[in-house]
């Protein structure tokens, strides 16, 4: 589903933010990506949702090298990926309900049935009383829940979440991680970037640790095995 081979990332002429990263996330798996602030988690995710190309090395998604994708192929792949952005990226002029329905509209699935799905999901994340609110009138945690609902409503093949529980209290954070578990059970590959170690420890999923732009292979990571020297 996701494969990085010897990936290096620099922004412009700056230093190497990610250094020779090799990893593999298989279809249907669930991974935590853990690291301190600035370790490179968001940068790694950005390559997984095709917003960033590596400076060196190879990134393959759904078995395709992202380097050779046309704009149309990129757009089609993106439709299979749900993303929870760290800064939410909700459309401010659309209500919570309309924001969540957006992926269904884009994929042509909008209708009475899907409108009901949107309402059920918003209720499940505790926003039954805020469905018609505009994002600027919602709290940070409420906006984060709208962003999560929008990312999962289309049952994506790959769900990428960048610090998805950063604005939530512990009870709601655990509830939302269970939502990701449910999605994973029906086949979605899940990758969650976070620095919340205690939350990660509550779930039994492989952990990939990033430190200073490198995978810390002393732990339980999904780093692809290093090639043997010839």
Residues in contact with ligand ATP by the rule CB under 6 A: 11, 14, 17, 35, 37-43, 86, 195
Retrieve residue 90's tokens.
């909700």
CB of 105 to ligand ATP, least distance (A): 30
CB of 78 to ligand ATP, least distance (A): 19
CB of 129 to ligand ATP, least distance (A): 31
Nearer to ligand ATP, 2 or 153 (CB): 2
Nearer to ligand ATP, 83 or 122 (CB): 83
Give the angle 40-9-160 at the CA atoms, nearest 5°: 50
CB of 200 to ligand ATP, least distance (A): 14
Nearer to ligand ATP, 83 or 104 (CB): 83
Q: How many other C-beta atoms can be found within 10 angstroms of the C-beta atom of residue 57?
A: 17
DSSP states of the chain: -EEEEEEEEESTTS-EEEEEEEEEE-TT-EEEEE--TTSSHHHHHHHHTTS---SEEEEEETTEEGGG--HHHHHHHHTTEEEE-TT----TTS-HHHHHHHHHHHTT--SHHHHHHHHHHHHHTT-GGGTT--GGGS-HHHHHHHHHHHHHTT--SEEEEESTTTTS-HHHHHHHHHHHHHHHHTT-EEEEEES-HHHHHTS---EEEEETTEE-TTSS--BPPPPPP-
Cα distances from 27 to residues 12, 130, 180, in angstroms, run 32, 35, 15
Nearer to ligand ATP, 114 or 143 (CB): 143
Nearer to ligand ATP, 3 or 46 (CB): 46
CB of 163 to ligand ATP, least distance (A): 6
CB of 75 to ligand ATP, least distance (A): 22
Nearer to ligand ATP, 118 or 222 (CB): 222
CB of 211 to ligand ATP, least distance (A): 10
Nearer to ligand ATP, 38 or 187 (CB): 38
């Amino acid at each position: 589903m996701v494969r990085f081979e010897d990936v290096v990332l620099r922004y412009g002429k700056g230093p190497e933010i990610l250094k020779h990263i090799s990893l593999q996330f298989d279809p249907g798996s669930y991974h935590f990506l853990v690291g301190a602030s600035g370790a490179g988690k968001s940068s790694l995710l950005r390559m997984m949702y095709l917003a960033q190309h590596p400076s060196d090395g190879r990134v393959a998604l759904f078995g395709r090298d992202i380097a050779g994708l046309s704009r149309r192929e990129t757009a089609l792949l993106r439709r299979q990926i749900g993303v929870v952005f760290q800064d939410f990226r909700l459309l401010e002029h659309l209500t919570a309900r309309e924001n969540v329905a957006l992926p269904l509209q884009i994929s042509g699935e909008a209708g009475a049935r899907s409108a009901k799905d949107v309402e059920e999901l918003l209720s499940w994340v505790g926003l039954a009383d805020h469905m018609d609110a505009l994002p600027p009138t919602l709290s940070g945690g409420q906006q984060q829940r709208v962003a999560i609902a929008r990312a999962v409503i289309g049952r994506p093949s790959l769900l990428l979440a960048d610090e998805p529980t950063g604005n939530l209290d512990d009870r709601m954070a655990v509830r939302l991680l269970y939502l990701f578990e449910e999605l994973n059970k029906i086949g979605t590959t899940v990758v969650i970037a976070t620095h919340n170690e205690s939350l990660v420890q509550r779930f039994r999923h492989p952990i990939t640790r990033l430190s200073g732009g490198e995978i810390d292979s002393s732990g339980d990571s999904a780093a692809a095995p290093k090639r043997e020297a010839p």
